[in-house]
Chain A
């Protein structure tokens, strides 16, 4: 009996304290942002959020949300108002949910014809992907000049899993449509692409190998924090050339050498994407105008990446430092 009274009384206490504390303030200019879960995206997001908060008087609630289809669905459903730095080359959802051309510098860079549940504008960051080897490997092997020499050195890149073939630490997620193995096969590179499931796994594997100074070949993209800590060199895949028949509907019919996927990736004009209904509200007109004008530069992000990952600054500190020293962002204000 004593126990049950005790518990009851405690519950009553907790419940009554709710009543005292549950008071909310309404604010018209409120937005909910999904903060990306990789450092580059986090920086781009913080740049946008800090301008919205400090210059335009919005109150932005930040939610950590892993990027992917789930995030697109959440924005379409109106649970999140906007998210930053999507990479069109990797997103599956953009084809389905966007219905307006993506414009950079006044030029159309990608055409979309989906449902239009989500709208998007370029961030200014242009991503590039490639295969990379560590700098120390290049230094130790001066006759290694690029992807044509990979077969000569395949024994150095071999692991238990790949046997006599070399190993490529490939694009981690099948849903990103990298077609690593297909690329290697068409280009005649006797390597096996290993899919590790997540970017984190890919980075952990590469970091371990780098720390031990082992030779390894990895897929990655720039700008990325990994390059701030570790010196890597791209192997210069042939420039991108599209191949129209290489789609799921055509059963991935490739166009042979010189065309995708046997080439490098196209440039990724990254974009901020948002819910159209929320952005159409009059109080969000300023935010929409800002997103249309935002043009963040790769070089600036790369500098901030170093400040964050090597110098131990927080994302907020690094962005504030950049905002104080630069005036680029003033051009993006509506």
Chain B
């Protein structure tokens, strides 16, 4: 221990300390290997501790108490949520498809222009064309309400966090738990308290998706410069005015970022919501997957993916601070603006320009006439109001036309002919193609030979030795190492916390499972790092590669993982390797994104200087860009670790082991205590690693003076 304190001693000679840390690490690895080779069985906590610490039983008693006492209140809450949900769902399902499409397309046309509107039109048409219109409406209602409630409550809590330091301190660990605690753990008990279907699904989705909006609202408000607030105060604003007129408007970009994150996380729960009886795209995907119908599952997955991207792009369009160019003076409507040097692009855009002008002319004409009539009618009452009204209408011609258009469709649907749900004849299905593609690959000898080689080498050289190493390593050695590492990187208080948390895991008698989870997380993160960083470097050099990359990353994060689990199983077989692969697919995007961010943030001056001194591309990258990008890389590493932990709860579905499996076994036996202990175990491991890597980032930033 004393040696470690010396480590932090700044007066230590640099020559000495250069060898000191590696030496300590090497020594401890050697000791651990010796311990492992002498260990005869998996390391277990002493029985007298695990027998006395009956956390599981306590939780179950507590649950019984709650079941007997608070059920009426929780059911009342859920009945309110349910009312709202049914209202929205019935509205979306009963409305004609044309009305819903128009309702989605018109606002996006207003905020995002033709490009966004075309995309949204494509998305909504896709739901109908694959025959999932009704399910999509159910999911839209579920997600719309969850996101709406999350944003309202999340912004409120975020503002509270920003105003009170004490509130922020209490919220922080709660937010960590909300994000990492596997949804399965609270999904089944939630059903007892809140019933089945939409209401508990919405509440569960809110628990999972609220943290980002709270965090980013808090951050946004706190980042408002003090000078601005002082200026406002000196002009006589009171606290409320400062909050609503200064802080919140300035924090808006950050809040909108939170909204986007919330949307993405909410849509990740679509399939899980099926487990408590919420209908929609999630249940379609689940039923298809149960039948091994990869094509149908993938189609449903694409619907969810499109919905997520639609929400996301629409949110981005609304939050964009300044509209880049007024629509009339835009040169191009679909292609990038700077392409106007190419004659072909100009030719391509020509028809769109004409269409735009025709529509603009028609719309403004209709609105002018409408405004004129209204003015005439109103001027009978008061001349002043009439002029104000007509001016208002003429100013908002787009909005008024949109509204008239919607009312028109609505009235047509009700009074003339019923448009009804999406026409079945417009079917365009790709499920058979996907299914036959997957089955062709399943029997392709070359492909299977490749997958088998990868699988066996990863299992033999990576997974099995590492699993053995961590499970056979005596628990006191593992705990000691982690405590020392947290002492050195964060501080004394956190070292004590780490010790307590790890002892809790041990005392719950889930040490072996926890070590298996840790091992699969660390290996997946290592592989993510080895695959993700090179891709990130490539993307930071090539803009074209980056734009393709971006779309793929979006898809990887929002496509429900159930959709790709089956192909993964068919190609690689169930078990630890498929679990690893699914984890990598889900958690690699942050490391790639942040590598790109880190490398492209490095000011071009540095690399130019390096090049002018004769540094090669590799040298510039290795000596200049990488060191400067380290904080970003560590941040990406941290996010990847978090997502890999979150994925541990899904991998048991395809043969993964560890704490996630323990959660499932607990739930299968209606043993909430057992499931909760394992869920908490995942959270605690994630929190320890999170804190250590964040502290390390901070040190790097300080060292670089960023």
Contacts and interface: CB of A to CB of B under 8 A. Distances in A.
Given A66-B274, A74-B277, A21 B90 contact: yes
Interface in B396-446: 396, 399, 403, 406, 410, 439, 442-443
Interface string B456-474: 1001100000000000000
Contacts of B187: 70
Contact of B318 (A2, A3, A211): A3
A328 B442 CA distance: 42
A92 B654 CA distance: 22
A194 B574 contact: yes
Given A2-B396, A9-B399, A70-B276, A79 B195 contact: yes
A25 interface: no
A64 B286 contact: yes
A67 to B, nearest CB: 10
Given A73-B188, A74-B277, A208 B576 contact: no
Contacts of B443: 211-212
A69 B669 contact: yes
B196 A80 contact: yes
B669 A204 contact: no
A201 B410 CA distance: 46
Contact of A80 (B87, B277, B406, B566): B277
Nearest to A23: B90
Interface string B12-39: 0000000000000000000000000000
Q: Is the interface of B mostly helix, strand, loop or mixed?
A: helix
Contacts of A6: 107, 110, 396, 399
Given A38-B290, A160-B460, A21 B91 contact: yes
A14 interface: yes
B430 to A, nearest CB: 17
A212 B442 contact: yes
Interface in B105-144: 107, 110
Nearest to B86: A22
B442 A211 contact: yes
A246 interface: no
A197 B661 contact: yes
A208 B567 CA distance: 9
Contacts of B283: 64
A65 B282 CA distance: 11
Contacts of A3: 318
A204 B292 contact: yes
A278 interface: no
Interface string A35-76: 001110000000000000000000000011110111001100
A174 B668 contact: yes
A22 B87 CA distance: 6
B95 interface: yes
A160 B291 contact: no
Interface in B68-95: 87-88, 90-91, 94-95
Interface in B175-214: 187-188, 191-192, 195-197
A201 B195 contact: no
Given A197-B661, A204-B566, A63 B279 contact: yes
Given A70-B191, A197-B654, A21 B669 contact: no
B656 interface: yes
A39 B291 CA distance: 7
A205 to B, nearest CB: 4
B570 A208 contact: yes
A79 B277 CA distance: 10
B456 A160 contact: yes
A109 B460 CA distance: 48
Contacts of A96: 670
Contacts of B110: 6
Contacts of A169: 574
Interface string B574-592: 1110000000000000000
B574 A201 contact: yes
B653 A200 contact: yes
Nearest to B275: A66
Contact of B653 (A69, A198, A203): A198
Interface string A1-27: 011011001100110011001100000
Contacts of B573: 159, 205, 208-209
B192 A21 contact: no
Contacts of B291: 39, 225, 309
A256 interface: no
Nearest to B440: A211
Interface in B42-88: 87-88
A196 interface: yes
Given A64-B279, A198-B654, A212-B443, A175 B665 contact: yes
Contacts of A195: 655
A160 B187 CA distance: 36
A205 B187 CA distance: 28
B576 A37 contact: no
A176 B668 CA distance: 8
B195 A77 contact: yes
A176 B443 CA distance: 32
Among B187, B277, B318, max chain A CB count under 10 A is at: B277
Contact of A14 (B91, B566, B652): B91
Contacts of A5: 396
A92 B669 contact: yes
B664 interface: yes
A156 B573 CA distance: 16
B276 A208 contact: no
A313 interface: no
A207 interface: yes
Contacts of A212: 442-443, 448
A93 interface: yes
Contacts of A200: 289-290, 292, 565-566, 653
B667 interface: yes
B670 A63 contact: no
A197 B655 contact: yes
A202 interface: yes
Interface in B269-304: 274-277, 279, 283, 286-287, 289-292
Contacts of A176: 668
A199 interface: yes
A304 to B, nearest CB: 14
A161 interface: yes
Contact of A173 (B286, B575, B668): B668
B316 interface: no
Contacts of B566: 200, 204
Contact of A204 (B192, B287, B574, B652): B574
A93 B669 CA distance: 8
Nearest to A42: B287
Contact of B196 (A14, A63, A159): A63
Interface string A143-184: 000000000000000011100000001000111100000000
Among A10, A34, A161, A175, max chain B CB count under 10 A is at: A161
A217 B275 CA distance: 30
11 contacts: A21-B94, A21-B95, A63-B279, A68-B667, A80-B277, A175-B665, A194-B655, A196-B655, A198-B654, A204-B569, A205-B573
Interface of B: 87-88, 90-91, 94-95, 103, 107, 110, 187-188, 191-192, 195-197, 274-277, 279, 283, 286-287, 289-292, 318, 396, 399, 403, 406, 410, 439, 442-443, 448, 455-456, 459-460, 565-566, 569-571, 573-576, 651-656, 661, 664-665, 667-670
Interface of A: 2-3, 5-6, 9-10, 13-14, 17-18, 21-22, 34, 37-39, 63-66, 68-70, 73-74, 77, 79-80, 92-93, 96, 159-161, 169, 173-176, 194-205, 207-209, 211-212, 225, 309
Given A14-B91, A79-B197, A201-B569, 15 more contacts: A6-B396, A9-B399, A13-B403, A18-B87, A73-B191, A73-B192, A79-B191, A79-B195, A79-B196, A194-B574, A198-B653, A201-B654, A205-B569, A208-B442, A208-B570
Q: Which 3 A-B pairs have the closest CB atoms?
A: A175-B668, A204-B569, A64-B283
